[in-house]
């Protein structure tokens, strides 16, 4: 085998290994999320359902107490919201219809669950309705990036998301003022970001770039719409 052939084979093997590692990481991530959702059903929703059944059985044989009824109505409302959140996690609203609407819903959900998080979102007023093929992958990747940018805790974070389109080229740009400490690892050096780049390229034939510019972290997802 010639030197050129050996080099080509070596580069192909390295790329295959990167893809394999990225997809293994992605599969573990998706599996962990499904496990957490299943645990939420078993540990919370199913137990509440059993409690509701017992309450209804009791009210059939006894005179219902107004205070107790009010308490159970509040618990039922909480149960409803839990089901709503789980449904949104399993299939984000608007993902099959409109990327701007799906992003707006995602931003509102993140800000409710992270009180210290502020996300400024800018989307076009008009967006082609047929441009939905890549929406699930785009939402998954941007969610993965936000999870890396905003660790658990009450720290304040401010992100800017901008969705743009020029002809059939789409870009989703995000910025964050760097808040890392001296001992923290820059996001651009993490294996998770490398995996997200590979997954995004594989799913959309697009490109994900993440760089640090002065005190800002800037990233951009670029893809060609069909």
Cα gap 210→177, rounded to integer Å: 13
- The CB density around residue 196, as the number of other CB atoms within 10 Å, is 25
Q: What is the pLDDT of residue 123?
A: 94
Q: Helices H, strands E: what count in the chain?
A: 6, 5
Residue 160's DSSP bridge partners are 120, 175
Q: What is the pLDDT of residue 181?
A: 45
Torsion of CA 112, 101, 123, 216, to 10 degrees: 40
Q: What is the pLDDT of residue 3?
A: 58
Mean pLDDT of the chain, nearest integer: 79
> What is the reported pTM?
0.74
**Residue 226 scores a pLDDT above 70:** no
| Residue carrying the six token digits 């009824």 | 69
Cα gap 86→90, rounded to integer Å: 6
Q: Which is more confident, 34 or 169? A: 169
Using the 8-state DSSP alphabet, how is residue 168 labeled?
T
Residues in the chain: 226
Contacts of 212 (CB under 8 A, 6+ apart): 178, 186, 187, 188, 218
CB neighbour class for 106 (10 Å; exposed up to 12, middle 13-18, buried from 19): buried
């Amino acid at each position: 085998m010639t030197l050129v052939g050996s080099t080509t084979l070596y580069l192909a093997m390295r790329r295959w290994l990167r893809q394999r590692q990225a997809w293994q990481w992605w599969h573990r991530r998706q599996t962990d999320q499904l496990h957490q959702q299943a645990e939420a059903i078993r540990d919370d929703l199913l137990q509440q359902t059993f409690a509701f059944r017992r309450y209804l059985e009791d009210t059939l044989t006894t005179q219902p107490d107004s205070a107790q009824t009010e308490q159970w109505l509040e618990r039922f409302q909480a149960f409803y919201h839990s089901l709503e959140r789980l449904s949104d996690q399993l299939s984000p609203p608007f993902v099959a219809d409109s990327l701007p609407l799906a992003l707006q819903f995602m931003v509102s959900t993140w800000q409710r669950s992270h009180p210290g998080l502020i996300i400024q979102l800018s989307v076009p007023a008009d967006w082609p309705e047929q441009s939905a093929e890549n929406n699930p992958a785009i939402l998954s990747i941007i969610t993965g990036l936000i999870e890396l940018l905003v660790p658990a805790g009450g720290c304040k974070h401010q992100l800017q998301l901008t969705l743009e389109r020029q002809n059939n080229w789409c870009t989703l740009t995000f910025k964050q003022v760097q808040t890392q400490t001296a001992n923290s690892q820059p996001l651009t050096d993490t294996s998770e970001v490398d995996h997200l780049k590979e997954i995004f390229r594989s799913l959309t034939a697009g490109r994900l770039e993440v760089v640090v510019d002065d005190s800002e972290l800037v990233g951009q997802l670029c893809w060609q719409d069909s």
